[in-house]
Amino acid sequence: MVSLYIHQATQRETAAILGMSQSEVSRLHRKALRHIGTGMKQ
């Protein structure tokens, strides 16, 4: 649960830095996590 909170905070910071909405950032995060996941499977 704590890691989820940290993840949310990181998304907010990333959104602020990039000037993006949090939903855009979370979408990018999910996409990146999927790429990492598929990379690990191979």
pLDDT tens digit sequence for 1-42: 577 776 777 878 888 888 878 788 788 888 888 877 777 765
Instruction: Give the DSSP H/E element, type plus range, for residue 27.
Output: helix 22-41
pLDDT at 41: 66
pLDDT at 10: 83
- Angle, to 10 degrees, between the axis of helix 22-41 and the axis of helix 2-18? 120
pLDDT at 1: 56
Q: In terms of Cα–Cα distance, which of 34, 3, 7, 1 is closest to 22?
A: 7
pLDDT at 42: 56
Predicted TM-score (pTM) of the model is 0.41
